[in-house]
Chain A
């Protein structure tokens, strides 16, 4: 069977063949590069350490950091956990208040929920309708006992880019630490932790053509940010994250970040052209809504609600495309996307959303086919939709008394 067209690059990316090739050369006895980077007594260990440090520099270079500020982790989820719990536990004597936003990734929200159970207080900011955090509201939420602000750089569902530089300035002026999850932004948006005054930054390899199971946390050295380790053991990574380093994964992440630095500008231009082609092709469908700000947005994301069509059945109809839906109807909860709800989108629109995310290996033909399919399937499903009938009859759905179930 023909594989579906992959338009879910925000979920994960394939490993770039150049990355895969480099990564694979750090595994076998024939290659001789399988050593433990912590082995200080022989060539195998020294070679592994050299490779790890080279990768560390490549990761640091993409975000304007010093390699000594990079801590390897298993991915952005672990980085978020380490940053938030690590800071909270270390600075608990100073204060127990944390600020974040309702549209953060679950790795941040659930970590904050966990801390609430441990006696911390968390403020969950409402974003504006365009998905962006209002600086005035952020400032108003800051208190004398606020120790950390955690606001993601780019949202995973709607692709909006937060003004992390302004948030960083504000946090620094109030002597509050600033953590940002950059899993979706690294390699897509320029990052400079100095200019943006970011204290902690979570990174992922598999969102930018590196391997899964690999990430990093940037931890600022000047002014120094302290963390309580969450993984104890041999004291690797300056005591912040113990565990033998996964050399091949690290080398893969390093190579992916190096390629991102070199190719980001050209790739963004190509991807933006494809995204705009898609938008152009879809915009003549009636009752189509873009979720999230279109200007402050990464070039590869298009999150669209097709009103009066339910997201899961649309995904079923679009089985030729690998995309994701903001509707979580497959879970027992029937809850639509919490991100779209937080933007104030109606339940109908939240249930009707599809996220298309484009990447390095997407072609014009892929986009054209996707547009063609959307046209076909949406008109088919609207033919089936009682809500579409009602809309066509001029009935305002918000005035109807529904029997909620």
Chain B
């Protein structure tokens, strides 16, 4: 199967690989997918007092498209407010990376990962 240049670029040089301390109050962690399905994404965001995502990182177990999708969204969410980040749609990710139909689920997973990270951060603030 041929991958697009953008997928190859993110796969060869993934951006923002890493971990934040998930127990810190300014960190939101989203982990989605399942090993049984062949994809697990963990996306983390660091949010400042103004509610803006200052930093993001990820680790992904999955195919090249899954790795590229998560790498891309870590770039996209940086500098965005939580609301703006929550509006990122999987179709935008799929379009940017030129994902073929069988890989659309990778972009869906990346969207879910952002939402899960935001939810995690918000629930921490309430607690």
Residues of chain A having any CB pair with chain B under 8 Å: 308-313, 316, 327, 329-332, 334, 336, 346-348, 351, 383-389, 397, 402-405
Contact = CB atoms under 8 A, between A and B. Distances in A.
Contacts of A311: 38
Contacts of B39: 310, 405
Given A386-B61, A404-B36, 20 more contacts: A311-B38, A313-B64, A316-B11, A316-B63, A332-B102, A334-B37, A347-B35, A348-B35, A351-B35, A384-B59, A384-B67, A385-B59, A385-B60, A386-B31, A387-B35, A388-B61, A402-B34, A403-B112, A405-B32, A405-B37
B63 A385 contact: no
Given A384-B59, A386-B61, A389-B59, A403 B38 contact: no
Nearest to B63: A312
A195 B63 CA distance: 47
A332 B108 CA distance: 14
Contacts of B37: 334, 347, 404-405
A280 B31 CA distance: 36
Interface string B48-84: 0000000000011111101100000000000000000
A310 B3 contact: no
A312 B35 contact: no
A334 B104 CA distance: 12
B59 to A, nearest CB: 4
Nearest to B59: A386
A291 B63 CA distance: 21
Contacts of A384: 14, 17, 59-61, 67
B66 to A, nearest CB: 8
A313 B11 contact: yes
With most chain A CB atoms within 10 A of its CB, the pick from B17, B34, B35 is B35
10 contacts: A310-B38, A313-B66, A313-B67, A329-B38, A329-B63, A330-B102, A387-B35, A387-B61, A389-B19, A405-B108
A348 B101 CA distance: 23
Interface in B4-25: 11, 14, 17, 19
Given A402-B34, A404-B34, A386 B41 contact: yes
A381 B8 CA distance: 14
B86 interface: no
A386 B60 contact: yes
B89 to A, nearest CB: 17
Contacts, number: 90
A389 B60 CA distance: 11
Main secondary structure of the interface of B (DSSP, over half): mixed
Given A313-B63, A332-B102, A387 B11 contact: no
B63 A310 contact: yes
B122 interface: no
B103 to A, nearest CB: 9
Given A310-B38, A327-B38, A405-B109, A385 B61 contact: yes
Contacts of A404: 34, 36-37
Contacts of A403: 32-34, 112
A342 to B, nearest CB: 15
With most chain A CB atoms within 10 A of its CB, the pick from B37, B60, B63, B102 is B63
B42 interface: yes
With most chain A CB atoms within 10 A of its CB, the pick from B3, B41, B60, B112 is B60
Given A308-B61, A384-B59, A389-B19, A351 B34 contact: no
A402 B40 contact: yes
Nearest to A332: B102
Contacts of A327: 38
B33 to A, nearest CB: 6
A389 B17 CA distance: 12
A330 B66 CA distance: 12
B44 to A, nearest CB: 10
A404 B35 CA distance: 9
A404 B33 CA distance: 6
A384 B34 CA distance: 16
A355 B110 CA distance: 29
B102 A402 contact: no
A347 B36 CA distance: 5
B8 to A, nearest CB: 9
A348 B33 CA distance: 12
B61 A330 contact: no
Nearest to A333: B102
A402 B34 CA distance: 5
